[in-house]
Amino acid sequence: MAPVIGYWNLRGAVEPIILTLKQAKASYKLRVYKLGDAPDFDKSDWLNEKHNLGLPYPNLPYYIDGDLKITQTLAILHYLARKHDLGPRNALESIRSDIFEQGAFEITHSLWTAWYVESDQEFEDRRLGLDSYLVEKLNHTGNAFGSNKFILGDRVTFVDFLLYSTLDYIRQYKPSLLDPYANLKSYLDRIEGLPEINKYLKSNSFSRFPITDATAKWGNDTIQKPY
């Protein structure tokens, strides 16, 4: 049987996992959990299973392949990278991969912190700080990336899909933030041009939105207006 990936019906934290599996041409099944409508946003579809799946650290996303059960996004990505040779191959590559992994993860966390808030006013207040933070972090990322084809050179790895998703979420949110970085914009095009990724992005299985769930103040509509 194919491994099962469990997550909500959105891109969020699961997309780098899906892209890594697509690049590896690995089969999988997606268990999509439903979030209830406002105002309650009922999570019982997930909560009713959360402690009954034998997950050692119950969380979404999860990866189940027979007796193998993994949670936590980065743990799943590291496992898949080792399994499909989509990770670093030496100490220097590991250092560079770790740096970009941490950088992308921190940027994504900043998006969630700003978008998942209680009120529209809080969102507007946080958005100003988010934009300033993203300007700084994109500068770091663009400089560190340099003229490489992919993060580790000419070979695509799992951390490319982590960075790709992060950058694309920013691109959907406020495209102008990426305008100063021709290398990052061409990198996004390069990832999307990979045959397996391109096939997936053009399929009915993929949609740019939602990025977040219905409780967020941005990214949860099927069509979302950028800033």
pLDDT digits (tens, 9 = 90+) for 94-117: 999 999 999 999 999 999 999 999
Tokens of 117: 């808030």
pLDDT digits (tens, 9 = 90+) for 64-94: 999 999 999 999 999 999 999 999 999 999 9
Domain 91-201 coded CATH 1.20.1050.10: yes
pLDDT digits (tens, 9 = 90+) for 126-169: 999 999 999 999 999 999 999 999 999 999 999 999 999 999 99
If pLDDT is split at 50, 70 and 90, which confidence band does 202 have? very high
| H-assigned helices in 55-119 | 73-84, 91-115
How far the first Cα of the chain sits from its last, in Å, is: 43
* Percent of the chain whose predicted confidence (pLDDT) is above 70: 100
- Give φ, ψ of 133 to 5 degrees: -65, -45
4-84 and 91-201: same fold? yes
Domain 4-84 coded CATH 1.20.1050.130: yes
pTM: 0.96
What is the average pLDDT across 39-56? Answer: 97
Upper half-sphere CA count for residue 63 (Cβ side, 13 Å): 22
Per-domain boundaries in the chain: 4-84, 91-201
CA-based torsion, 212, 187, 17, 77: positive or negative: negative
* Percent of the chain whose predicted confidence (pLDDT) is above 90: 96
